[in-house]
């Protein structure tokens, strides 16, 4: 298999990182590097995965702000419609959102 086919056969992974409070955005409490490292480790554990894109939301509540008003979720949905990635990877499911009536439909 040539190099181009090997890369094309890999699953493209889009990672979403989110911290919900401004306190977590502070340099000493920034949760994003921990989420990012965990996702990178997960990708490394899957030889058929390749990082496609990373999106970070800092200071955005997954409960107070609806998905339709979150730029990151809108970007992910557009990327999905364009079939630009194969796997959406988040550190924990609640990084997508915390609304019971909305979050499961984001994944759909």
pLDDT tens for residues 2-24? 455 555 689 999 999 987 755 55
User: Which 3 state secondary structure label does DSSP give 34?
Assistant: helix
Using the predicted structure, report yes or no on whether residue 100 has a pLDDT greater than 70. Answer: no
pLDDT at position 53 is 96
What percentage of the chain has pLDDT greater than the value 90? 34
Q: How many Å apart are CA 6 and CA 50, to the nearest integer?
A: 11
Q: Which of 47-61, 63-77, 79-93 has the lowest mean pLDDT?
A: 63-77
pLDDT tens for residues 28-55? 556 788 889 999 999 999 999 999 999 9
90 and 16 Cβ atoms separated by less than 8 Å: yes
Domain ranges of the chain: 3-107
57 and 16 Cβ atoms separated by less than 8 Å: yes
96 band by pLDDT with thresholds 50, 70 and 90: low
Give the tokens for residue 22.
Answer: 């401004």
């Amino acid at each position: 298999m040539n190099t181009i086919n090997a890369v094309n056969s890999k699953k493209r992974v889009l990672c979403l990182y989110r911290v919900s409070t401004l306190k977590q955005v502070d340099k000493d409490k920034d949760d994003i590097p921990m989420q990012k490292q965990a996702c990178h480790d997960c990708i490394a554990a899957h030889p058929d995965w390749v990082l496609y894109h990373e999106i970070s939301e800092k200071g955005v509540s997954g409960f107070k702000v609806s998905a339709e008003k979150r730029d990151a979720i809108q970007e992910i949905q557009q990327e999905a419609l364009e079939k630009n990635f194969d796997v959406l990877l988040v550190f924990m499911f609640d990084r997508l959102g915390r609304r019971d009536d909305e979050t499961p439909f984001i994944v759909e």
